[in-house]
A and B are shown apart, each in its own frame.
Chain A
Amino acid sequence: MTATRPAKPSAPARAWNDAELPAALLAIDATGLGGIVLDHASHDAAREWVRLLAACLPPGAPVRRVPGSVTDDRLLGGVDLAATLSSGRLVVEQGVLAASDGGAVVLPMAERASASVIAALVGVLDTHTVRVEREGIAAEHGARLALVCFDESADDEAMSVALVDRLAFRVTGMSGFDASPRTCEVLSQAVHDAREIARHVTDGAAWLAGLCELADAYGIDSMRAPLFAWRAARAHAALHGRTEVTEEDAAAAARLVLLPRAVRMPAPPPEPAAEEPPPEAPPEPPPEPPQDSADDSPPPPPEADTSNDEPETPPDEKEEASDDPRPPADILRDAVESTLPPGVLEQLLARAGAARGVQGRVGEESVSLLRGRPRGSRHGMPRGGARLHLLETLRVAAPWQRVRGRTDRTQRVSLRKDDFRIRRFIERNGTTVIFVVDASGSSALARLSEAKGAIEMLLAESYARRDRVSLIAFRGTTAETLLPPTRALARARRVLAAMPGGGGTPLATAIDASIGAALAAQRAGTSPLVVFLTDGRANIARDGTPGRPRAGEDALSSARVFAQQRLSALFVDTSLRPDASIRAIADAMLARYVPLPAANGDALRGLVRTVQQQAAGSAT
């Protein structure tokens, strides 16, 4: 949506667009709403948006940017080493979060933030205080702030779900957003007035129920969503100088808070004649948004700029709303959906579904970003990349200060070369087991369930060993990553159970896909182990054309590429009669060949042992 619009004279009922509104609402109720995700906003648009937010916040409120490389002690506060050393007593320095109390914190590249940064932010959003529990310090500071995250994730990354869930808003499509000085001025004035009113906004309880019901209809699990929506509706009412939440406020809140979280489409409302509320769990969503509802308002232009399009809210709207025979949730849904151009809802849902798909990976990924398990310190000089462990160094030096002639507090701490300590880490070098499963219609199909059983056993073992597992299935003309590397067994099992079968055997494509996945796992700092389960009778060439000879040649050439990458692999031949041509492919991959003509319990256990040994060997 574009945001540039000539500023109108400042009437309290001035209509703001969906990018401007969150800035105002956050400035009115930062602690209640948490913050916002700017979804793939351009650099300029994001900067403009932050400028608008800063203008809305009270004068002098801090707006701090947290670089991705921020360390815990700068974020949360820690020991000020320079001051500690020179004064000879512990000097605590305030972190960015505590310093931003009453303002906002901007987190660019939020999808790359490390687990510890996420944990700190989540704690602040929950408690509005910063608690420091590190390096011998325990302190608590207020941190009532709004968090602005820039989500710039590419397809194999995603923002932490824990964090996203705690932020009320998500704004997409901000290209060309521009906060003119006039907009800033008018909006900040409106926000200033609204802060006074916000305290006196009384309940419009019908709309609260409507928002809850709509959240349910959109398939939103978290209870934070309706809570945020309700707070947003209240702030919206205050922004427009009202002391009661009206349909317009609730609709805006539903659009800004609930819609971006929708994971399914609600069923069309019942005929207006029927007075009962709609069923609580709506059946499967219809393929199209319900355009035939009682409202019948024409779809507005694709600028999703609702408040602009329906400025004629009569002052007695609330009376009307209560007379409206339809339940509030339906009114809200119509209000939300009538503002969207056709097709947008489907896109949103598709994206939400995709986001859901990667959910399980997020925590995993951030854990692997850790610099490894800290393993204390050791004696040595901070040279050649080794990091000085300052506190340990101080601890070592501390008891000797008197002996070394330090008599009073004003004198500097005396450090000798022997005192220096450097940090040691143990690199977490786990294994990622990538299962490449033949789901084609050849003999593999008959044995697909056996293969599934084998994989489940392997999964259970990997889970106990804290390996990560990933699942690629190939059939027809494609190889599809069903499960990105994860440690969540529940999800892996679900995906596996739902794995379809049938079609040709595109072995070459599968090998290519496994190379990509294995290299990605290597980049993530783990050792990949690729386990193929196939009958090996390739009959689809790399370009998707059927034909056994071509397909076999392609598979062999892919296998050679695989070998060149020096990837560790295990080739499980599930065909009933092990065959020399399959062996040839396994050999070309330099993979260990394991025939598995009958998947009985003993054979499976043997296979599990083999995989484990190989996994243990590959993780050094």
Chain B
Amino acid sequence: MRHVYPFSAIVGQDEMKLALLLTAVDPTIGGVMVFGDRGTGKSTAVRGLAGLLPPMTVVAGCRYGCAVPSDERGCSYCDRGHPGHEKVRSAKAPVPVVDLPLGATEDRVVGALDLERALTTGEKAFEPGLLARAHRGFLYVDEVNLLEDHLVDLLLDAAATGENVVEREGVSIRHPARFVLVGSGNPEEGELRPQLLDRFGLAVDVKTPTDLALRIDVIKRRDAFDRDPDAFVAHWEKAERAVRRRIVKGQERLSTASVPDDVLVRATELCAKLGTDGLRGELTLLRTVRAYAALEGHGEATLDDLRRVAPLCLRHRLRRNVLDEASSTTRVERALDELYAVT
């Protein structure tokens, strides 16, 4: 068993961790795009999620990891009433965190004809791809800005519709594929198309910590992990459990958390002020502030909650203004300052 670096042992990078926790509480927020320098623990944080998330209940035998009780439609196994089993049996499975390697081919992503069965029995069977494996979990793409455009299109399409439709080589199948897309990349090496960027729910800028003590801490912890992963993971087990409890509580509270009208009005004002296109900005703000309130244990979202999550939701939705050199984070902060100064 290969150990993963514990999520809670990551030094600093609070915003990235918050964004990931929020999507764990409410996956409908959409994906997370992480921009940033090299070697800042982007992939470590996402891989750390695997060990952190509470296991999910799935239909035993379903290759697409459908939930029990089933809230899905379109799964070829569950829709046919689980052939061979009259009663739905449930099982526990870890929340999948699937890595998409840059070199992956299209058929691995969407799934393809099962070659082995086709050759041996002449049977036309579908072999699920990465999208199926990522269902109800996370799909992580490092250097998403370097991924070939047609693959990014595929991913975003599936992420937006929540299902994967395969029509190729004589296979016609559809199955649920609801996952949180986590992309990372360095804008210095090529940017993502703006129309793709907009589809990510949250965006985070990560920076190398400048504080020396923090930097030393990063190295020390990493070193301790490398030398004795067992002891390190055991040492952090308690903290990991605490975070896991926080996520579970947040998920439970999500349905009861409410967003009062004044927060909604402020969110709309903010989007209008920043001139974000479409309603995606408002919708994401609404969902994110609710998830934040649930995570923090506030029964009702407050204006302060909104202020906390607004940069996450909006910084990648701004129109590029050629005359404004300020970074998008600064522009969001500026708009926030102006709006909050009024009241």
Q: Are A399 and B149 in contact (CB under 8 A)?
A: no
Q: Are B122 and A401 in contact (CB under 8 A)?
A: yes
Return the CB mask of B256-269 against A: 1 if under 8 Å, else 0. 00000000000000
Q: A129-B2, A487-B190 are in contact. Are A134 and B119 (CB under 8 A)?
A: no
Q: Are B120 and A88 in contact (CB under 8 A)?
A: yes
Q: A90-B116, A360-B190, A395-B115 are in contact. Are A373 and B103 (CB under 8 A)?
A: no
Partner of A227 from B188, B190, B219 at Cβ < 8 Å: B219
- Name A366's closest neighbour in chain B (CB-CB): B146
Partner of B322 from A119, A122, A362, A456 at Cβ < 8 Å: A456
Q: Which A residues between 179 and 236 are near B, CB-CB below 8 angstroms?
A: 199, 205, 208-209, 211-213, 215-216, 221-227, 230-231
Q: Which B residues between 312 and 326 are near A, CB-CB below 8 angstroms?
A: 320, 322-323, 325
Q: Is B208 an interface residue (CB 8 A)?
A: yes
CB distance from B24 to the nearest CB of A (A): 22
Q: A162-B143, A360-B189 are in contact. Are A213 and B212 (CB under 8 A)?
A: yes
CB distance from A278 to the nearest CB of B (A): 10
Q: Which of B38-46, B71-79, B85-93, B245-253 sits within the interface?
A: B38-46
Q: Are A224 and B115 in contact (CB under 8 A)?
A: no
**Apart from A366-B146, A394-B115, what are 18 other A-B pairs with CB-CB below 8 Å?**
A32-B226, A90-B116, A115-B102, A119-B101, A123-B99, A131-B101, A134-B108, A136-B114, A165-B39, A199-B227, A215-B215, A227-B219, A280-B210, A363-B189, A398-B122, A399-B122, A400-B122, A464-B193
Q: In the complex, A133→B106 CA distance in Å?
A: 10
Q: Are A413 and B104 in contact (CB under 8 A)?
A: no
13 A–B contacts from the bound complex (CB under 8 Å): A76-B103, A119-B101, A134-B107, A135-B108, A223-B39, A223-B218, A227-B223, A360-B188, A367-B146, A398-B113, A401-B119, A488-B189, A493-B325
Q: Are A221 and B127 in contact (CB under 8 A)?
A: no
Residues of B within 8 A of A89 (CB): 116, 119-120
Residues of B within 8 A of A221 (CB): 37-39, 208
Q: In the complex, A119→B269 CA distance in Å?
A: 43
Q: Are A208 and B216 in contact (CB under 8 A)?
A: yes
CB distance from A200 to the nearest CB of B (A): 10
Q: Is A580 an interface residue (CB 8 A)?
A: no
Residues of A within 8 A of B222 (CB): 227
Residues of A within 8 A of B148 (CB): 367, 370, 373
Residues of A within 8 A of B106 (CB): 374
Q: Are B223 and A230 in contact (CB under 8 A)?
A: yes
Q: Is A178 an interface residue (CB 8 A)?
A: no
Q: Are A116 and B190 in contact (CB under 8 A)?
A: no
Q: Which B residues between 126 and 168 are near A, CB-CB below 8 angstroms?
A: 127, 130, 142-143, 145-146, 148-150, 168
Q: Are B39 and A222 in contact (CB under 8 A)?
A: yes
Q: Are A162 and B38 in contact (CB under 8 A)?
A: yes
Residues of B within 8 A of A487 (CB): 190-191
Residues of A within 8 A of B107 (CB): 134-136
Residues of A within 8 A of B168 (CB): 376
Return the CB mask of B162-205 against A: 1 if under 8 Å, else 0. 00000011100000000000000001111101100000000000
Interface centre among B142, B216, B219 (most CB of A within 10 A): B219
Q: Are B103 and A364 in contact (CB under 8 A)?
A: no
Q: Are B113 and A212 in contact (CB under 8 A)?
A: no
Q: Are B191 and A489 in contact (CB under 8 A)?
A: yes
CB distance from A608 to the nearest CB of B (A): 11
Q: Is B58 an interface residue (CB 8 A)?
A: no
Q: Are A136 and B101 in contact (CB under 8 A)?
A: no
How big is chain A's contact interface, by range?
35 or more
Main SS of the interface on chain A? helix
Q: A135-B107, A212-B212, A457-B322 are in contact. Are A398 and B119 (CB under 8 A)?
A: yes
- Name A468's closest neighbour in chain B (CB-CB): B190
Q: Is A43 an interface residue (CB 8 A)?
A: no
Q: Is B241 an interface residue (CB 8 A)?
A: no
Q: Are B102 and A119 in contact (CB under 8 A)?
A: yes
- Name B133's closest neighbour in chain A (CB-CB): A138
Q: A115-B146, A134-B103 are in contact. Are A212 and B215 (CB under 8 A)?
A: yes
Q: Is B238 an interface residue (CB 8 A)?
A: no
Q: In the complex, A499→B323 CA distance in Å?
A: 16
Q: Report, nearest first, the 3 A-B pairs whose CB atoms are least far apart.
A: A119-B102, A398-B118, A222-B39
Q: Are A488 and B43 in contact (CB under 8 A)?
A: no
B residues in contact (CB < 8 Å) with A = 2, 37-41, 43, 99-108, 112-116, 118-120, 122, 124, 127, 130, 142-143, 145-146, 148-150, 168-170, 187-191, 193-194, 208-212, 215-216, 218-220, 222-223, 226-227, 320, 322-323, 325
Residues of A within 8 A of B102 (CB): 115-116, 118-119
Q: Are A208 and B219 in contact (CB under 8 A)?
A: yes
Q: Are A394 and B208 in contact (CB under 8 A)?
A: no
Q: A89-B119, A116-B102, A136-B107 are in contact. Are A395 and B113 (CB under 8 A)?
A: yes
- Name B327's closest neighbour in chain A (CB-CB): A490
Q: In the complex, A402→B170 CA distance in Å?
A: 18
Q: Are B191 and A488 in contact (CB under 8 A)?
A: yes
- Name B151's closest neighbour in chain A (CB-CB): A373
A residues in contact (CB < 8 Å) with B = 32, 72, 76, 79, 84, 88-90, 115-116, 118-120, 122-123, 126-127, 129, 131, 133-138, 161-162, 165, 199, 205, 208-209, 211-213, 215-216, 221-227, 230-231, 280-281, 359-360, 362-364, 366-367, 370, 373-374, 376, 391-392, 394-395, 398-402, 409, 413, 453, 456-457, 459-460, 463-464, 466, 486-491, 493, 497
- Name A85's closest neighbour in chain B (CB-CB): B119
- Name A454's closest neighbour in chain B (CB-CB): B322
CB distance from B50 to the nearest CB of A (A): 12
CB distance from A241 to the nearest CB of B (A): 19
Q: Are B322 and A363 in contact (CB under 8 A)?
A: no
Q: Are A133 and B38 in contact (CB under 8 A)?
A: no
Residues of A within 8 A of B145 (CB): 363
Residues of B within 8 A of A493 (CB): 325
Q: In the complex, A161→B143 CA distance in Å?
A: 12
Partner of A490 from B41, B127, B188, B216 at Cβ < 8 Å: B188
Q: Are A363 and B39 in contact (CB under 8 A)?
A: no
Partner of B212 from A72, A209, A363, A490 at Cβ < 8 Å: A209
Residues of A within 8 A of B2 (CB): 127, 129
Q: Are A491 and B188 in contact (CB under 8 A)?
A: yes
Q: Are B101 and A120 in contact (CB under 8 A)?
A: yes
Q: In the complex, A364→B322 CA distance in Å?
A: 23
Q: Are B212 and A133 in contact (CB under 8 A)?
A: no
Q: Are B124 and A399 in contact (CB under 8 A)?
A: yes
Q: Are A72 and B103 in contact (CB under 8 A)?
A: yes
Q: In the complex, A209→B216 CA distance in Å?
A: 6
Q: Are A464 and B194 in contact (CB under 8 A)?
A: yes
CB distance from A80 to the nearest CB of B (A): 12
Q: In the complex, A362→B118 CA distance in Å?
A: 42
Residues of B within 8 A of A213 (CB): 212
Q: In the complex, A199→B103 CA distance in Å?
A: 36
Q: Are B40 and A399 in contact (CB under 8 A)?
A: no
Q: Are B143 and A216 in contact (CB under 8 A)?
A: no
Q: Are B101 and A363 in contact (CB under 8 A)?
A: no
Q: In the complex, A116→B222 CA distance in Å?
A: 28
Q: Are A460 and B190 in contact (CB under 8 A)?
A: no
Residues of A within 8 A of B146 (CB): 115, 119, 363, 366-367
Q: In the complex, A454→B50 CA distance in Å?
A: 48
Residues of B within 8 A of A126 (CB): 43
CB distance from B191 to the nearest CB of A (A): 6
CB distance from A122 to the nearest CB of B (A): 8
Residues of B within 8 A of A394 (CB): 115, 119
Residues of B within 8 A of A374 (CB): 105-106
Residues of A within 8 A of B118 (CB): 395, 398-399
Q: Are B190 and A367 in contact (CB under 8 A)?
A: yes
- Name B122's closest neighbour in chain A (CB-CB): A402
- Name B171's closest neighbour in chain A (CB-CB): A395
Residues of B within 8 A of A116 (CB): 102-103
Q: Are A395 and B169 in contact (CB under 8 A)?
A: yes
Q: In the complex, A486→B190 CA distance in Å?
A: 7
- Name A362's closest neighbour in chain B (CB-CB): B189
Q: In the complex, A359→B37 CA distance in Å?
A: 12
Q: In the complex, A120→B130 CA distance in Å?
A: 17
